A = this chain, B = another copy of it.
């Protein structure tokens, strides 16, 4: 395995970063399922986040998430079917359909925010506040600002 040794230092780093991300997301959704949101999937949280409490439109949502308006529209369809979003006509512009969070959507987003904070706290307990902060500082220093975005859904797939 000389050419593709998984112990190569460069190979381990991305795996560790992914493992950190995944462990947080997995724990979040395990707990979210327990709290009445079994259908909420990793990408959905980012979508709800992008919709925001003020609502938006499918086109604008696609823009925020970095995907096409059609993709955003289909995602909204699914979240509507799951009861997290709802559509409404825009009285000021008959072309636009406002996308808003339902009560359930707000509840899911609020719970995920609380849980994310709790999960970070768990890291603080295990590593210490200074080391977690240093880790965040280092990542901030080394990643380009444009990679710190919400457009999670599409980047991995196609």
Is there an interface contact between B118 and A10, defined as CB atoms closer than 8 Å?
A: yes
Contact residues of A between 1 and 32, Cβ < 8 Å to B: 1, 3-6, 8-26
As for how many copies of this chain the complex holds, the number is 2
Instruction: Select which of B43, B115, B134, B148 is within 8 A of A19 by beta carbon.
Output: B148
Number of chain A interface residues as a range? 35 or more
Contact residues of A between 107 and 137, Cβ < 8 Å to B: 109-110, 113, 115-121, 123, 126-127, 131-132, 134-136
Is there an interface contact between B5 and A113, defined as CB atoms closer than 8 Å?
A: yes
Chain B residues lying within 8 Å of A91, measured Cβ to Cβ, are none
Main secondary structure of the interface of A (DSSP, over half): helix
Instruction: Select which of B5, B23, B155 is within 8 A of A143 by beta carbon.
Output: B23
State which of A47-55, A71-79, A80-88, A92-100 sits at the interface with chain B: A47-55
Is there an interface contact between B135 and A4, defined as CB atoms closer than 8 Å?
A: no
Is there an interface contact between A53 and B3, defined as CB atoms closer than 8 Å?
A: yes
Look across to chain B and name the residue whose beta carbon is closest to the beta carbon of A155. Answer: B22
Cα A113 to Cα B14 with chains together (Å): 12
The residues of A with any CB-CB pair to B shorter than 8 Å are 1, 3-6, 8-26, 42-43, 48-49, 52-53, 106, 109-110, 113, 115-121, 123, 126-127, 131-132, 134-136, 138-144, 147-150, 152, 155-157
